[in-house]
Amino acid sequence: MAGRGGAARPNGPASGNKICQFKLVLLGESAVGKSSLVLRFVKGQFHEYQESTIGAAFLTQTVCLDDTTVKFEIWDTAGQERYHSLAPMYYRGAQAAIVVYDITNTDTFARAKNWVKELQRQASPNIVIALAGNKADLASKRAVEFQEIHLPLLVLPALVQPVSIEAQAYADDNSLLFMETSAKTAMNVNEIFMAIAKKLPKNEPQNAAGAPGRNRGVDLQENNPASRSQCCSN
C-alpha cells in the first residue's frame, strides 16, 4: 500500500543561483523507520510493511531554501546489528546525520544516544546532527489510552511520555536538532530535513572527501570550480 502522503512534496529545483549538495546519513536501530522517513521525504510515499534495508540505500532529493537549491544525497543505512560496522563507510564525509529512534521503544532511544556519541567521536567535527523520534502517530494513540484507563503503573508512560521530554533535554544538551516525526502521517518529515538544510553552512567549501556523490570522483569536483564558487563566493 503506497498511499500518497498528505504533506506537500518538497519543492523542486528553483531558479535560485546557489546550488549546494550535502551528504546526509540516517542512523538508528533497526525498524525505527529510517527508510520510511526517507521514502516519505523523497517520494511522498509510505509503505506499511517496509522491507528491512540491506546494507544501505542511496536516494537524492532536492529542496529549495530561499535562493539556495539544496540537494540532499541521502544514505539510508541498515539498522541491523550485523551491518553496524559498515556505518562509518557511509557517515564519513557526511555533512548531516539524522539519528532516528522509535518513541514507543526506549531501547531504540538508548541506541540513538550511542549513535550520536559515535558521530561526535568519529564523524566530521562540524556535522549537523538531528534527532528524530519517529512513529509519533503511535504516541498520540497511546497517550489517549493512558488517560482513559488511568493506569496506575508507570510502565506505559515510562515507555512513551518521558522519552520525548528526555529526548528534548538530551538534544538540547548535545546541540542536536530534535523533532518527533511520523513517516506514516508525514508529520515533521519535511520539516526536519528543512531544518537541517537551514542549519547547514551554505557558504563554506564542502568537505572535498565527502561531497562527491556516487559515480563522481574527486577530480570531477575540482574540474567544476564554477558551481562551487557560487556556493563559496559569498
Partner 1 sequence: MMTIKAFSLVSAVERELLMGDKDRINIECVECCGKNLYVGTNDCFIYHFLLEEKTSPTGTAAFTATKQLHRHLGFKKPVNELRAASALNRLLVLCDNSITLVNMMNLEPIPTGARIKGAVTFALNENPVSGDPFCVEVCIISVKRRTIQMFMVYEDRVQIVKEVSTPEQPFAVAVDGHFLCLALTTQYIILNYNTGVSQDLFPYCSEEKRPIVKRIGRQEFLLAGPGGLGMFATVAGISQRAPVHWSENVIGAAVCFPYVIALDDEFITVHSMLDQQQKQTLPFKEGHILQDFEGRVIVATSKGVYILVPLPLERQIQDLLASRRVEEALVLAKGVRRNIPKEKFQVMYRRILQQAGFIQFAQLQFLEAKELFRSGQLDVRELISLYPFLLPTSSSFTRSHPPLHEYADLNQLTQGDQEKMAKCKRFLMSYLNEVRSTEVANGYKEDIDTALLKLYAEADHDSLLDLLVTENFCLLTDSAAWLEKHKKYFALGLLYHYNNQDAAALQLWVNIVNGDIHDSTRSDLYEYVVDFLTYCLDQELVWKYADWVLQRSEEVGVQVFTKRPVDEQQRNSFNPDDVINCLKKYPKALVRYLEHLVIDRRLQKEEYHTHLALLYLEEVLQQRPSANGKGAEVTGTQAKLRSLLQKSNFYRVHFLIDKIQGTGLHMESAILHGKLEEHEKALRILVQELKDFSAAEDYCLWSSEGRGDPYRQRLFHTLLAIYLRAEPADCELAVPAVDLLNHHAAEFDAAQVLQLLPDTWSVQLLCPFLTGAMRHSIHTKRMTQVALGLAKSENLIYKYDKMTLKGSSVQLSDKKLCQVCQNPFCEPVFVRYPNGGLVHTHCAASRHTNPNSPSRGNRT
- Residue 43 as a binder of partner 1 (CB under 8 A): the answer is no
Q: What is d(CA 42, CA 61) in angstroms, rounded to the nearest whole number?
A: 6
Give CA separation, 112 vs 26, 93, 153, 154, in Å: 11, 20, 26, 23
Out of 54, 153, 165, 226, point to the residue binding partner 1 (CB under 8 A).
54
- Kindly state whether residue 83 participates in binding partner 1, applying the rule CB under 8 A: yes
- Residue placing its CB nearer to partner 1 in the complex, 11 or 60: 60
Pick from 3, 12, 13, 213: which binds partner 1 (CB under 8 A)? 213
Nearer to partner 1, 58 or 172 (CB): 58
Which of 48, 217, 226, 233 touches partner 1 (CB under 8 A)?
217
Beta bridge partners of 3: 46
Q: Which of 2, 86, 151, 169 binds partner 1 (CB under 8 A)?
A: 86
* Straight-line distance from the first to the last Cα atom of the chain, in angstroms, rounded to the nearest whole number: 46
Does 56 sit near partner 1 (CB under 8 A)? yes
Mapping DSSP onto H, E and C, the string for 57-111 reads EEEEEEEEECCEEEEEEEEEECCCHHHHHHHHHHHCCCCEEEEEEECCCHHHHHH
Residues at the contact surface with partner 1, assessed by CB under 8 A: 54-58, 75, 80, 82-83, 85-86, 88-90, 92-93, 209-210, 212-218
